Amino acid sequence: MTSTTPTTTRHGLHLADVTLTYGDGESTVTALDAVSLDVEPGELLAVVGPSGSGKSSLLAVAGGLIPPTSGRVSVGGTDLTSVSSRRLAELRRTHIGFVFQSGNLVPALTAIDQLRLPLHLGRVDDPRDPVALLEEVGMTHRADRRPDKLSGGERQRIGIARALVTRPRLLLVDEPTAALDRHRSQEIVALLAREAHDHGVATVMVTHDHDVLHHCDRVLQMTDGTLTSASV
Ligand code: ADP
Ligand code: MG
């Protein structure tokens, strides 16, 4: 991967005129309608909007899980829409982290082994140390616990740490506080902001939770597949 462009925005997330339609013929749905977006390294962006407005579709396209119908997506300076499927899988594994509502942890693994797992799935240049990262998310005292013995907030901390262990350029987070109480929600989004800022990770968080937006650097509103600036 080589990039000589000095434009720093290209090293976070860059979407240019991205459209995504599902289905064909009479039953097409336009989930993303000409979306352009730059997220800088170290920036935490929140995306709010009603159910069905296209928020999860935005994350899926930004993370290379679904190819856009048209437009371009680049992460860390690499155009996801022009690489081979093998290279795309590699970029997803090493450059892009995903965090889901429920943490999506592996039931049989202890907390520390959840963090080691991404490093066993293939080569990673300069990974973070799982033991130090576990401490950074405040979970050292739960290192040997499996997910069924962790609280919702603790599972979310492990899910975030696991997504960060490869030092991704881009972190995509879908409704991380949906299952948490108010206090835990604040802690989780504060943790996301700290990780984004301290480690230069471009972070996009979808949320319904307006109480956590003060942790975010920018808030955008998704409406019928279109992104606009939001008044918070
Ligand atoms: P949100 O996350 O904001 O609730 P989504 O991105 O999940 O929105 O959905 C946006 C639109 O795309 C909705 O109209 C939804 O019904 C539609 N949609 C999402 N996924 C699919 C799919 N796999 N096939 C067809 N339509 C879909
Ligand atoms: Mg969604």
- The Cα-based distances of 184 to 59, 66, 94, 156, 160 in angstroms read 23, 31, 28, 10, 14
The 10s digit of each residue's pLDDT in 69-115 is 999 999 999 999 999 999 999 999 999 999 987 778 999 999 999 99
Residues 6+ apart with CB under 8 A from 78: 1, 3, 91, 95
With respect to residue 14, please indicate whether it lies within any of the assigned structural domains. Answer: no
State which of 18, 48, 56, 65 you would mutate to test the pocket of ligand 1, scoring each by most atoms of that ligand within 8 A of its C-beta: 56
CA dist 173 and 47 (Å) reads 10
The DSSP secondary-structure symbol of 180 reads S
CB atoms within 10 A of CB 97: 27
With respect to residue 105, please indicate whether it lies within any of the assigned structural domains. Answer: yes
How many domains does the chain divide into? 1
pTM of the shown model: 0.93
The 10s digit of each residue's pLDDT in 43-76 is 999 999 999 999 999 999 999 999 999 999 999 9
Instruction: Answer for the pair 55, 227: CB distance below 8 angstroms, yes or no.
Output: no
With respect to residue 166, please indicate whether it lies within any of the assigned structural domains. Answer: yes
Angle at the Cα of 231 from the Cα atoms of 22 and 153, rounded to 5 degrees: 70
With respect to residue 19, please indicate whether it lies within any of the assigned structural domains. Answer: no
Atom number in ligand 1 closest to CA 60: 6
58 CA → ligand 2 middle, Å: 9
Q: What is the CATH number of the domain that holds 160?
A: 3.40.50.300
The 10s digit of each residue's pLDDT in 161-190 is 999 999 999 999 999 998 899 999 999 999
Range of the structural domain that residue 88 is part of:
41-64+82-229
How large a percentage of the chain has pLDDT more than 70? 95
Atom number in ligand 1 closest to CA 51: 4
With respect to residue 24, please indicate whether it lies within any of the assigned structural domains. Answer: no
With respect to residue 130, please indicate whether it lies within any of the assigned structural domains. Answer: yes
